Amino acid sequence: HYYGALLKKLAPESYRKSYNNANSIGTGSIDDVIQSMDRTLFRMLPKLCPKPRMLVCAPSNVATDELIQRVLDRGFIDGEMKVCRPDVARVGVDFQNHAAQAVSVKRRTEILLGRCH
């Protein structure tokens, strides 16, 4: 089955646990085994496949800041057709709007260091 092959490839330890649990039950139907593997895959997959990262460059600071503003306001539509609001960090100087300044690396570092003290 697809899920079993995927789980075996991405998380062999979890696959072994699912396989051993399925064999030890003995009375479980194939549907029970598949549901168990689905639960394991659902739990393990986010750890194995972290969110992708994206680097965006624009020809000007104004264009970069406009893009940041739109991403923060609207987000993206991900592969599951859900709105995704990514974590944004603005690198550079000459911020043209408050949104870009708020997510600047300098500002984010100040916030992070402020939390540590």
> Which ranges of 26-96 would DSSP assign to H, the alpha helix?
30-48, 61-74
Domain boundaries, the chain: 2-48, 61-116
Residue by residue, pLDDT tens for the chain (117 residues) are 555 666 666 666 665 655 555 554 455 677 777 777 778 777 777 676 666 777 888 888 888 899 899 989 998 887 778 888 888 889 888 888 888 888 998 888 888 888 765
What's residue 35's pLDDT?
79
What's residue 10's pLDDT?
65
Report the alpha-carbon distance of residue 15 to residue 11 in Å, rounded.
6
Nearest to 104 by CA among 115, 89, 93, 114: 89
Report the alpha-carbon distance of residue 2 to residue 11 in Å, rounded.
14
Distances 16 to 8, 11, 20, 28, 106 between C-alpha atoms, Å? 8, 9, 6, 17, 46
